[in-house]
Every structure is written in structure tokens, then in C-alpha cells.
Structure 1
Amino acid sequence: QAELIALSNAESLQRQELSDNFHTIKENWHRLMNRQRWLDYWQNIYSRSLSVLPYFLLLPQFISGQINLGGLMKSRQ
């Protein structure tokens, strides 16, 4: 195969095809990394918001004195 390419002077064409294919792979990898970063970002926000949600929901009861600080802390478990 290499001899055929060399004899037909198609080396530059083969190089261009290889370069195009590599460029496609590189673009795909960048898209994949950007989507992974986006997914990680939203998973992080979701996880953090779930950890403080019970406090926000019970804060009015704590302020009004219906539950004490211990009850507020137990709500997270």
C-alpha cells in the first residue's frame, strides 16, 4: 500500500486526509470535554443545593420557635 501511494504521488492527498481525520477526532474530543464539564457543573450545583434545602425549608419554623436548633440539624439526616 505504501509503495502504491509513493508511486502515484498521492502522499500529499493521504497527508491531507489524515490531517482532516485527526481534526475531526480533535473537535469531537473538545465537544465531549465541554459537555462533560457542563454536566459536572450542574451535578455539583444539584448536589450542593440538596444539602442545604432542608435548612431553607425549616428556617421559618426555627425562626418562629416551633423547632429548636437540634431539630433543625436533625433535618439534614
Structure 2
Amino acid sequence: TIDEERRLCYVGITRAKRTLTLTYCSKRKSFGEMNICEPSRFLSELPQEDLEWEGKGEATPEMNQKRGNETLASLKNLFG
């Protein structure tokens, strides 16, 4: 049910220690068909002043690639 989905989203968010980064893909291939993906409907229920949206069309593909590489390098350092 939607209430259970909301509860699971809340539990996931409240487990973050310092910061929380949520990601989603804009398109996903499923059973051979390309599907458009949307952010969780529950993000609109969060205080918008606490959210920082990135990658909403203002960056070039090269900038997105660079930022993605930096993020991966940072994660590797955390676990490395």
C-alpha cells in the first residue's frame, strides 16, 4: 500500500547519519522496452528547503560525467 511505501521511505531517510543522497535514472530498460522514470512521489512531502536538486538539465553531459567520476572516486576512498 502507499502507506507502507511511505513508511519504508521514511525509515530509509531517517537511517542517514550525516547526509543522504538519493539518485534515480531518467530512463530504464525493462523487458526490452525503455521506460521513463520519475523521482519518488514522497520527495514532494519533504521540506523543500532541506532538499538540494542536482542535474536537472542545467549541466552538460561532460559536467555530469565529471561529477559522476568524482562521486565514484569519493566512494572508493570511503571503502578503499
TM norm. shorter chain > 0.5? no
Comparing both structures, which one devotes a greater share of its residues to helix? 1
TM, length-normalised to structure 2: 0.26
TM-score, normalised with respect to structure 1? 0.27
Q: Whose strand proportion is higher, 1 or 2? A: 2
Q: Which has the higher contact order (CA 8 A, sep 6+)?
A: 1
